[in-house]
Amino acid sequence: MRRMLAAAALALAAAALLLGGQALLDAGWGPALRSAADRVLPYPDVAMWALSPGGEEPDDSYADATGAGTNYVYLVDAADADGSVRELQLIFFGERPDAGGWLEIEARGGSGVRYAACGEGDVPDRAREALVE
């Protein structure tokens, strides 16, 4: 009897997690959930560089937690110092990025954890070559 109750409780908890997660995805919080997972999971931090997506339409957007603004989500191609390229998700909180220029990114998993504008001279040659054809 105890095992049946424990199994039922576990099934209910799993269903609640699935429904709650789906509700967050439906509300537009998928990018935030991806970013949170990338920060929590044991991915290594990797320095990467990308061209600023400014001037482009965001791939997604969602209201910030306070409801006072909008967070803009961009998927960008980024390269590490060896020239290996992968897609990263960058979230710009409350404003769109500036057009042009480069970003230096601290990447973790598929997300940019921290990023800042940098000059083209700060981008390693192999990263720049991999992104600019």
pLDDT tens, residue order, the chain (133 aa): 777 776 666 666 555 544 454 444 444 556 767 767 766 777 789 999 999 998 899 999 988 877 788 999 999 999 999 999 999 999 998 899 988 899 999 999 999 999 999 999 999 999 999 999 7
Structure tokens belonging to residue 109: 């998993």
List CB contacts of 37: < 8 A, sequence separation 6 or more: 109
CA dist., res. 121 & res. 36, Å (int):
32
- Beta-bridge partners for 70: 63
Place of tokens 């920060």: 39
Q: Which helix (H) or strand (E) holds 126?
A: helix 125-131
Q: Would you state the pLDDT for residue 108?
A: 94
Q: Do 93 and 71 touch, CB atoms closer than 8 A?
A: yes
- Beta-bridge partners for 4: none
DSSP secondary structure letter of residue 73: E
CA dist., res. 106 & res. 48, Å (int):
6
Structure tokens belonging to residue 42: 């044991």
